Amino acid sequence: MLTINDLKVSVEDKDILKGLSLQVNAGEVHAIMGPNGSGKSTLSHVLAGKDGYQVTSGSITYNGSDLLDLETEQRAHQGIFLAMQYPVELPGVNNMVFLRESYNAIRKSRGEDELDSPAFIKLIREKADQVKLPGKLLKRSVNSGFSGGEKKRNEILQMALLEPSLAILDETDSGLDIDALRIVADGVNQLRSEDRAMIVVTHYQRLLDYIKPDVVHVLADGKIIKTGDFSLARELEDKGYGWLLDGEAA
């Protein structure tokens, strides 16, 4: 589904990703772990098409086509979803309206009919129950005055609604208490399917206990320096990143 080959990315002439390669197949859940500043968020942003990143070499192929050719919204239309580390607030923009516009924009791009309001309200209520998002948050402005946990749950709600084929979760677990963490993990687990892939970017192993990824990568200094199965996450929890980084240096 997704093939990243020798990707180099810089921000304001500073090299962040320095030759990253990654292969993600449909049905797989990959975790990307790594210390702060290793380039995890850069990878998420580049996949979603955020401005401000220069891809200096390498390629990203998504479902057979060149992802870097596509605008941000086109990537969304093709099923790429990014749950953001810091979901932004949109004051005055009703959450329900935002979700409907988003949902219908994506349907429209696929040549499907837009869903009318009553049908959408029914759908969104089901989805909100699924991710345990209180109904009142649907009526408020997008993320405005939401707690940290509510913002993250709102991200998971959007993911559940939009049913992406490639979902990227950028440190969705940061700042969450254990209950919120479980809700996020449940949301992810419910969406696991044969034709969907997920990339879970995280600093900690906690979330992975609930998600149990198929593959775990360690990203350090702009490269993937180790790949393993779930046991690698356990090992990192015990030993930290130091032993890997030392190995890299040596």
Partner 1 sequence: MQTGNSSIDELLDGGYEYGFVTDVVSDTLPPGLDESTIKAISAKKNEPEWLLQWRIQAYRHWLTMDEPEWAHIAKPKIDFQSISYYSAPSSMKEAPESLDDIDPEIRKTYDKLGIPIEEQMALAGIAVDAVFDSVSVATTFREKLAESGVIFTSISEAVHDHPDLVKDYLGSVVSYRDNFFACLNAAVFSDGTFVYIPKGVKCPMELSTYFRINERNTGQFERTLIIAEEESQVSYLEGCTAPMRDENQLHAAVVELVAKTDATIKYSTVQNWYPGDDQGKGGIYNFVTKRGDCRGDRSRISWTQVETGSAITWKYPSCILRGDNSVGEFYSVAVARGMQQADTGTKMIHMGKNTSSTIVSKGISAGQGQNTYRGLVRIAQAAENARNHTQCDSLLIGDKCGAHTFPYIENRNPTAKLEHEATTSKIGEDQLFYCRQRGLSEEDAVSMIVNGFCKEVFNELPMEFAVEAQKLLSVTLEGAVG
Tell me: does residue 90 bind partner 1 (CB under 8 A). yes
For 69-82, letters b (16+ CB in 10 Å) and e give ebeeeebbbbbbbb
**Spatial separation of the C-alpha atoms in residues 97 and 150, rounded to whole Å:** 18
Smaller CB separation from partner 1, 124 or 244:
124
**What is the residue whose two structure tokens read 């040596």?**
250
Strand pairing category for 166-170 and 197-202: parallel
Binding mask 167-206 for partner 1 (x = CB under 8 A): ----------------------------------------
CA distances in angstroms from 93 to 84, 101, 145, 157, 206, listed in the order given: 18, 11, 13, 17, 34
How many Cβ atoms are within 10 Å of 196's Cβ, its own excluded? 18
Of the candidates 71, 177, 194, 195, which one interacts with partner 1 according to CB under 8 A? Answer: 71
Contact range with partner 1 by CB under 8 A, out of 50-58, 178-186, 209-217, 224-232? 50-58
Which listed residue (92, 111, 118, 242) binds partner 1 by CB under 8 A? 92
Contact between 10 and partner 1 per CB under 8 A: no
Between residues 165 and 205, which has the closer beta carbon with respect to partner 1? Answer: 165
Hey, is 68 helix, strand or coil? Answer: helix
Pairing of strands 166-170, 65-66: unpaired
Residue window 150-169: x/- pattern of binding to partner 1, with contact defined by CB under 8 A: --------x---x-------
> What does the binding site for partner 1 look like in residue numbers (CB under 8 A)?
48-52, 71-73, 75-77, 81-82, 84, 86-88, 90-94, 97-98, 101-102, 104-106, 108-109, 141, 158, 162
